[in-house]
Structure 1
């Protein structure tokens, strides 16, 4: 092969490889390379922030790797938008700081993101046991909320699969103003006497699917708030806890309708309630809850299998202003 032909062949190979690489992962970002310790004691918040910022600058797909180990994290916001798509591969365990004074709101918050995958089989541990005694919300409405473990706000096109959430301080996982999110093979657990540790709370979001998951807490396994549309809950094992709930609805002004909820092939065991809908009769807003289908539901040792409470009100003589339409159970 002469020199000229060799140059042509090498150039062609470079062109092919460059083109192929355009659809491949652009970069892998290991949090340990940014200073994360993984010893369960050293605060790794800054290292996680640095890894996220580096990955966000990539045009293409970036993968943040969290290896085996225990990583102590304070409150952190993973914020978009970014130039490509993001994969967070959690193999280790993330431990929430127990210092409540460090929190202004939530623990881990994903915001303004389009295209997110979280997987890897790891665990988000809220270390809630040390803070549950400070939760006064079950006793009084004038209380300070403890941090939610995982929050997805203004997130689109996300898949969260194969991860666990343990002992959250308040809710385990909350989805707000988001769309096209799939939660698959999630495990959520907290003791039966832990206050307000709802499993998954969804509000003002559309096209959300929860499937093939196991949830056991002291509160709702899954709760549906106002403004939620086109939700599917499939093959979920719930218990202990308060079951699968819609509401409460109508507590605040400007709440939006709930439309299109399908709950299929779910099993509830040892829960206070099975399927529950609760609305405030003295609502400052008039809204509707429509298009519900509950099908192939198994209940074992459930105290209140089905509850529709349209008088959820601590006061007397509250006018009903929330309407239930087209609710079907099979």
Structure 2
């Protein structure tokens, strides 16, 4: 049976729960979810109170005072897929991660090959997660099993995201190290007032779909002062998201910071009030990117990319309203409306001569696009940078290199 430690002070007492005292071994070999492993088990849930991590969470969540759940330092906890679910009695709850949390390596018997998430936290309000510990998704076990995309049969197997939050309001995440997730390092879905800082995310540049942070259906999100190296977007922003502030991000390798893709399969999707500034992109496929599918509807608006530095980036500035990763793509008339987008103070080098791409829909053109003080040279001094734009309305001001002649100079 686990123990709790209570510290008293002027404020309400805080109770501490250590996973090691609830039976978690942390030797890197023992399954610290402590469950039997049938051939294709069902996903464990927080209602399985007798299991080590679940029992520690259950005690923390039911505590009537502010509570801290501690993942002990100097240990490596091997975990099968788990879900920690609220709502909880106490607030705030703090999870302090000092040790390593490692995904169970037997993907066939434990995972079943169909789970989208490894660690999921749901329905909590006032959750803090902090510490210098590591979350290791063992993605290298999943990446080779990813089937080749087939647009006719829909074959696109992916590994699980390492850490996912659903319906978590007033969420604070700080200091964690993420390594090699099966898919995204972190997902934020249907949550409000989220603050993340000093995160470190690392996966090889050729690892499939390993986005750093994916945000979906969430509002009032801040991400700052973090290092993200991935095989996909460093940060991606999906449907139903607004009021996002991103700053002081070191991105690379990866696919840059992306809004979208939006409108796939003819869906109606909306994104607005997204601000990205004071960040660095090194050797990424893209820099500041907005991507939408033909045939969709909705809008992406009130977006600003400001004070960004690029070093050897393949596509530093790109709006793509005709996004389609398939070999054959249909020509459709409807599109997600892109408007009021500002690119201000962008400097550095482009791997290719084409440094600015504004490729918009003929029937739903991009409007109110602003470029101001842009200086993008090629990594190869023998070439000059160029731009491409189609169906774009907007203005250019200050220094703008390369020139973007389709926009109105003011």
TM-score for the superposition, normalised by structure 1: 0.90
Q: Which stretch of the first structure deviates more once superposed, 72-81 or 96-105? A: 96-105
Query: Is the contact made by 1:138 and 1:195 (CA closer than 8 Å) also made in structure 2?
Result: no
Query: Is the contact made by 1:137 and 1:145 (CA closer than 8 Å) also made in structure 2?
Result: no
Q: Separation in 2 of the partners of 1:252 and 1:206?
A: 24
TM-fit CA distance, 1:143:
2.7
2:83 equivalent among 65, 77, 82: 77
TM-fit CA distance, 1:254:
5.3
Q: 1:257/1:88 Cα in 2 relative to 1: closer, same or farther (>3 Å)?
A: same
- Indicate the RMSD between aligned Cα atoms, in angstroms: 1.6
1:55 is paired with a residue whose SS is: helix
TM-fit CA distance, 1:90:
0.4
2:333 match: 319
Q: Separation in 1 of the partners of 2:258 and 2:252?
A: 13
More helix by share: 1
TM-fit CA distance, 1:61:
0.7
RCO (CA 8 Å, sep 6+): is it higher in 1 or 2? 1
Query: Is the contact made by 2:78 and 2:101 (CA closer than 8 Å) also made in structure 1?
Result: yes
1:208 equivalent among 192, 203, 221: 221
More strand by share: 2
Alignment of 1:16-95 (within 5 A): 23-25=12-14, 27-45=15-33, 46-68=51-73, 69-85=75-91, 86-95=93-102
Query: Is the contact made by 2:142 and 2:158 (CA closer than 8 Å) also made in structure 1?
Result: no
Query: Is the contact made by 1:226 and 1:247 (CA closer than 8 Å) also made in structure 2?
Result: yes
TM-fit CA distance, 1:320:
3.1
Aligned length: 310
1:294 equivalent among 305, 308, 323: 305
Q: Separation in 1 of the partners of 2:266 and 2:205?
A: 32
In structure 1, runs of 5+ residues without a counterpart are 1-17
Per-residue CA deviation, residues 169-208 of structure 1 (Å, 9 max, x unaligned), is 1111011111101110000000111111111100110011
2:84 is paired with a residue whose SS is: strand
> Do structure 1's residue 278 and structure 2's residue 291 form an aligned pair?
yes
Query: Is the contact made by 1:67 and 1:91 (CA closer than 8 Å) also made in structure 2?
Result: yes
Q: Separation in 2 of the partners of 1:19 and 1:96?
A: 36
Q: Separation in 2 of the partners of 1:29 and 1:138?
A: 45
1:321 is paired with a residue whose SS is: coil
Alignment of 1:103-142 (within 5 A): 103=111, 104-136=115-147, 138=149, 141-142=154-155
1:228 equivalent among 231, 241, 258: 241
1:56 is paired with a residue whose SS is: helix
TM-fit CA distance, 1:130:
1.7
In structure 2, runs of 5+ residues without a counterpart are 1-6, 34-50, 345-410
1:226 is paired with a residue whose SS is: coil
Query: Is the contact made by 2:173 and 2:195 (CA closer than 8 Å) also made in structure 1?
Result: yes
Q: 1:277/1:137 Cα in 2 relative to 1: closer, same or farther (>3 Å)?
A: farther
